[in-house]
Amino acid sequence: MARLGSWIEPFPEGIYVKPADAWVDPSRPKVQALVTHGHADHARGGHGAVWATPETLAIMETRYGEQAGRPISYGDSVRIGEVDVSFVPAGHVLGSAQIVLEYRGERVVVSGDYKRRPDPTCAPFVVVPCDIFITEATFGLPVFRHPDAGSEIDRLLHRLHAEPERCVLVGAYALGKAQRVIMELRGRGHDEPIYYHGAMERLCALYEELGVPLGDLRAATGASKQELAGKIVICPPGALNDRWSRRLPDPITAMASGWMRIRQRARQRNVELPLVISDHADWDELTQTIHEVAPKQVWITHGREDALMHWCMTHQIKARELNLVGYEDEDD
């Protein structure tokens, strides 16, 4: 009998599914690609056929132009070569999916990036029992335990209201994090206009088109200092310290990221108000998920593989590191 998962081959540039002749999240252009979600390190341009959820394809088209897209909605199944392929929610960003691959009685789930916390902008993670679970490990160290997003948003609002002559400038990745922060604010009753950097415009418009209502959003460019006082402004992390922010009224610099747990990272970016809001599973979510999925083997991709490898060993779960390259996860 063939070794479990012998039909799945990890290469530095992605995971190759032999009997489908297709790659999962390849970092180089391929003839056939299966894409878990729209973040640039997973969804590259230039592939031949791309299988992804309709939302992920829409995101890719916004970024790269027209795709030879084959949309697969959550719960639908398609046969590619000799492999049955379906997409189930991963809870990471809008349209994000785990890819379920079935071949000759074996089931492999490629998680992509995922989290278990509630997120008002996307469908929650679905547990799919399988033989091999290929998991990310971005925050795969026991020190990473994300607080509740609601309490981080409360800290943001508290600070905003305490200094109404200033504004709070929040650095947030343009796909997913920005829209989640906006929705979390709306969920806390913050109905004021929220201002955004020009780089956010297209993706926010796309989220709205795809059914995520973000409320009163306005362009920060062109707004007066007076208008922006006491308001929240969202920008990509890269714009936090650049010339662009000088037009704002004495901004309180915040950033929403799982990495804000590390003080050093907050200091590097001159972040005064670090908000630990992550779109990746923390340590407890990773280990809880492996328990629930109950795979025969765990294959670990980008992030801190060692600690999760060790945890699997001590729990009698066979584990293996895949040395994929090109996943940055600054997206968090």
Residue span binding Zn ion (CB under 5 A) among the ranges 204-212, 223-231, 289-297, 321-329: 321-329
Pick the closer one to Zn ion by CB: 146 or 231.
146
CB of residue 330 to Zn ion, shortest distance in Å: 10
Contacts 24+ apart (CB under 8 A), 86-89: 87/52, 87/53, 88/126, 88/128, 89/122, 89/123, 89/124, 89/125, 89/126
Pick the closer one to Zn ion by CB: 102 or 113.
113
The DSSP result for 105-124, as a single string, is TEEEEE--S---S--TTSPP
Q: How far apart, in whole angstroms, are the C-alpha atoms of residue 58 and residue 65? A: 9
Site for Zn ion contains 113 (CB under 5 A): yes
Q: Which amino acid is at 224?
A: S
Of 99, 57, 102, nearest in space to 81 by CA: 102
Beta bridge partners of 275: 256
Site for Zn ion contains 119 (CB under 5 A): no
Buried b (16+ CB within 10 A) or exposed e, 20-46: bebbbbbbeebebbbbbbbbbebbbee
Pick the closer one to Zn ion by CB: 101 or 122.
122
- Residues 20-49 contacting Zn ion, CB under 5 A: 39
Q: How far apart, in whole angstroms, are the C-alpha atoms of residue 86 and residue 78? A: 6
Beta bridge partners of 10: 15
CB of residue 83 to Zn ion, shortest distance in Å: 23
CB of residue 331 to Zn ion, shortest distance in Å: 5
Angle 187-269-156 (CA atoms, 0-180°, nearest 5)?
25
CA atoms within 13 A on the CB side of 42: 31
Q: How far apart, in whole angstroms, are the C-alpha atoms of residue 332 and residue 209? A: 23
Pick the closer one to Zn ion by CB: 25 or 102.
25
Which listed residue (23, 259, 311, 327) binds Zn ion by CB under 5 A? 327
CB of residue 332 to Zn ion, shortest distance in Å: 7
Residue span binding Zn ion (CB under 5 A) among the ranges 3-11, 111-119, 240-248, 284-292: 111-119
Pick the closer one to Zn ion by CB: 39 or 261.
39
Residue span binding Zn ion (CB under 5 A) among the ranges 57-65, 112-120, 261-269, 312-320: 112-120
- Residues 48-67 contacting Zn ion, CB under 5 A: none
Structure tokens at 187: 């969920």
CB of residue 214 to Zn ion, shortest distance in Å: 20
Site for Zn ion contains 329 (CB under 5 A): yes
Residue span binding Zn ion (CB under 5 A) among the ranges 27-35, 212-220, 254-262, 319-327: 319-327
CA atoms within 13 A on the CB side of 26: 21
**For the window 241-260, what string marks contact with Zn ion as x by the rule CB under 5 A?**
--------------------
CB of residue 54 to Zn ion, shortest distance in Å: 18
Is there a contact between 197 and 239 (Cβ–Cβ < 8 Å)? yes
Total chain residues near Zn ion (CB under 5 A)? 5
Pick the closer one to Zn ion by CB: 113 or 184.
113
Contact residues for Zn ion, defined by CB under 5 A: 39, 113, 327, 329, 331
